Amino acid sequence: MNSFIYDIPVKVYFGENQLSHLGEELKKYGNRVLLTYGGGSIKRIGLYDNVIEVLHKAGMEVFELSGIEPNPRIESVREGVKMCKEHNIDVLLAVGGGSTIDATKFMAAGACVEHDPWEFFGANAKPIERALPLVTILTLSATGSEMDSGGVISNLATQDKLGRLAQPLLPKVSFLDPTLTYSVSAYQTACGAADIMSHIMEVYFNMNKDLYMLDCFMEGMLKTVVRYAPIAIAEPENYEARANLMWTSSWAINGFINGGKKKAWSCHPMEHELSAVYDITHGLGLAILTPRWMEYCLDETNVEKYVSFGVNVFGIDANQEPMTIAKQSIQRLSDFFFKTLGLQSTFTEVGIKREDFKEMARKACRYGDIRGFKTLTPEDVERIYEMCL
């Protein structure tokens, strides 16, 4: 196996009633807080009032930025940067899903530089050396943004959706209360489950030299999602289900499972182009792409990985030909996404059109061929898009 650095310095408060610690954590960084959130779900579930009460009790001076969009836009980031500078903000508090947390990460970084925050992205991206401290309260289990150093921002003007990783973007503290996800719709729960699984599978179907311990850990997390996502959809207030999804979302992408992995992710660059052009939900795009990508990549040289996946995650009978098991694995994953979770299964259903494939494939490979589980050229990406129609 390869050597690696393990460094996940995010303090997590997990469980119900942990918000009592919010004030003491924020005050470590100062008194002036920028509270950010999305389109209003935090008000509907009563969380906004609780947070404001805690902040006032702690004597914080509160500034607010609401309306952060799903697939968050660079305009929201710019607005946040402006507020941080104007009001001399000490600490940012993001309350919401991955979109709110991602946008707030780049507000925190943008507040420390003079240039436009969009310059943090792309081939000639400016360095991120500093960021204001960020605290998060997670309300949707999906992206893992609450415990990772990345974020993804959309620029509608250029039809780009670009990601960036940088250690200063890591939240200082994240509050993970599964009861805050009781109100997440069946659709967003399903999309979140697909996103969590994809984060694990991008690594599982990827490592150049596998570490058995990490493979077992990943299979355990995948089994957890397969077990609990349907329960969370059927019983939205099932604490065990919501808690298992929440903690898995964080561990799927916080860096632990990477174990020295040297290869790129595959489905995420292909999906980000779908969201950039069609503004679709990230997890839905991943659910449609992933089984087709697995089918496209399968061959005699990598079949054993599919066998482990099928046998250990879906309990497929191991006493069959490897190719048979591999194909059953792909089928079981499709059935899980499209039958059990009820997600749409084709580009046609969600309105994604062939005429955009060439340009989306070119952009998916903007930094060169995708050197993941199997190297994908723009032509390969186009063929995978075709399989999704």
30 sits in the region (left: phi over 0; alpha: psi -120 to 50; else beta) called: left
Residue 65 Cβ vs ligand NZQ, minimum distance, rounded to whole Å: 12
Whether 90 and 33 have beta carbons less than 8 Å apart is answered as yes
| Residue 41 binds to ligand NZQ (criterion: CB under 6 A) | yes
200 vs 215: CA distance, rounded Å: 10
When asked if residue 151 is in the footprint of ligand NZQ (CB under 6 A), the reply is yes
Least distance to ligand NZQ, CB of residue 154, Å? 7
* Residue 25 near residue 134, CB atoms below 8 Å: no
Q: Which member of 133, 150, 310, 378 binds ligand NZQ (CB under 6 A)? A: 150
> Quick one: which segment of 15-23, 145-153, 354-362, 374-382 binds ligand NZQ (CB under 6 A)?
145-153
Residue from 28, 40, 116, 299 touching ligand NZQ (CB under 6 A): that is: 40
Alpha carbon distance 357, 261 (integer Å) = 29
Closest approach, Cβ 291 to ligand NZQ, in A, equals: 18
Number of residues that bind Zn ion (CB under 5 A): 1
Structural contact between residues 289 and 197, judged by C-beta atoms closer than 8 angstroms: no
Restricted to residues 134-163, the positions that interact with Zn ion (CB under 5 A) are: none
CA distance 20 to 22: 6
Q: Which of 309, 305, 296 is CA-nearest to residue 270?
A: 296
Q: What is the pattern of x (binds ligand NZQ, CB under 6 A) and - over residues 54-83?
A: ----------------xx------------
H and E: helices and strands count for the chain: 15, 10
Q: Within positions 182 to 201, which residues make up the interface with Zn ion, using CB under 5 A?
A: 195
- Report the alpha-carbon distance of residue 11 to residue 102 in Å, rounded: 18
Residues in the interface with ligand NZQ (CB under 6 A) total 36
CA atoms of 205 and 185, how far apart (whole Å) = 30
- Smallest gap from Cβ 324 to ligand NZQ, in A, equals 32
* Distance (Å, whole) CA 223 – CA 61: 44
Q: How far apart are CA 233 and CA 51, in angstroms?
A: 27
If one asks whether residue 290 binds ligand NZQ (CB under 6 A), the answer comes out as no
Of these partners, ligand NZQ, Zn ion, none, which one is at the site of residue 230 (CB under 5 to 8 Å by kind)? none
Binding site for ligand NZQ (CB under 6 A): 38-42, 45, 70-71, 96-100, 102, 139-140, 142-145, 148, 150-152, 180-181, 183-184, 188, 192, 195, 253, 268, 275, 282-283
Q: Would you tell me which residues interact with Zn ion (CB under 5 A)?
A: 195
